Structure 1
Amino acid sequence: MKHDDNSIKPTENVATADNKNLMHIAQYIKTGQSGHKRSIPPLEQWHPKHCGAMDLLVKANGEWWHEGQLIKRQALVDLFSSVLWKEQGKFYLKTPVEQIEIQVEDEPLFINQVDVVEIGQQNYIQLITTHQDIVIVDAEHPIFMREYAGELRPYVHVRFGINALIQRAAFLHLVELGELSENAQGETILSLKSGDLHLHLSS
């Protein structure tokens, strides 16, 4: 948001408050984390009050920016990503006591690793985000195609209405796992199987 010259002091106050909120959230999550294992808190059980918005932006390329500055500490971004919440089309950082709106250009999570794992004598596609979230592709976590900025991009549903963009290298690995064909309209179809789920992605 742009401010005129007369709003310099209020802007600085907001920046200070935003930075304080960000550090409080980081400290809370850090305290709640156990060991080294990736842990997602039970956000659906929390009903905090809305505490406005902060100047935090997740860009479509995966970068997190706060107060116009790139957050370079991956550990900090990993912490914030674990309390991402989506409600009525808006994104938030959510704790038991506050829910603060942030801005997200596309989706805030990104898949960079693809594996095949055996579960109950069936092979499943396992996707891992840049924050070490593990997603098993199934009916509740399907892969789908959606347009962003004039380009069809592959996504997978992760949690709480939030999706992850499957990055290019990871998608090429999916192509190797699946079968390519062409439909009557001349579209390329990628067929994938994960457990009992059959996916047909057109591009």
Structure 2
Amino acid sequence: MTHHTGSIPDTHRATDWRDNSACSQRGVDPDVFHATEADHAALREARAVCAGCPTRVACLTSAYQEHDEWGIRAGLTPRQRKIILKKADRNITRAVADALGDPTVLLKNLYWQHTQQAGRHRVWTDHRDWVNVRGKPFTVNQLAWRAIHGFAPEGHVVRTCEVDKCVADACLADDVTRKQATA
């Protein structure tokens, strides 16, 4: 007995990073992202689109996770991605940070590895108060701020709650946040 209804299955994917990517916007030719390395004009066009894309980290991470061997992703050719991944000892997080020159992806990884939820708080569980990432020292609060917000804080980051080692977003404030709270 068959249960075929004749209807076409729903093939819509869930909303994700691709919906906000620069390459998904109107007027962008998708073919440039599948150009060969010999097609320098198409590569320049693809890289120009990728350079201003807000989803480069997610795009490159996805390319590595999906083993994409064909398209330009985050401005990198498959050959370039392969070289970077090999240099990073096949560690995707490090490869993405290396390729994009942005330690934020490493800071996010450290944040989630070394924190634990405690009610409305998120507590740093590592014994260190400072962490060096790519030769740059970060206090735990600075690391948490960058991991949560994706950008550097203005001035010092302080904990605003009484829970020891709490690094929850609602419990951290930089100079700008503190000035806004007192205004």
RCO comparison, higher one (Cα < 8 Å, 6+): 1
Q: Relative to total residues, which structure has the larger helix share, 1 or 2?
A: 2
Bigger proportion of residues as strand: 1
Q: Same fold (TM over 0.5)?
A: no
Larger Cα-atom Rg: 2
TM-score by length of 1: 0.27
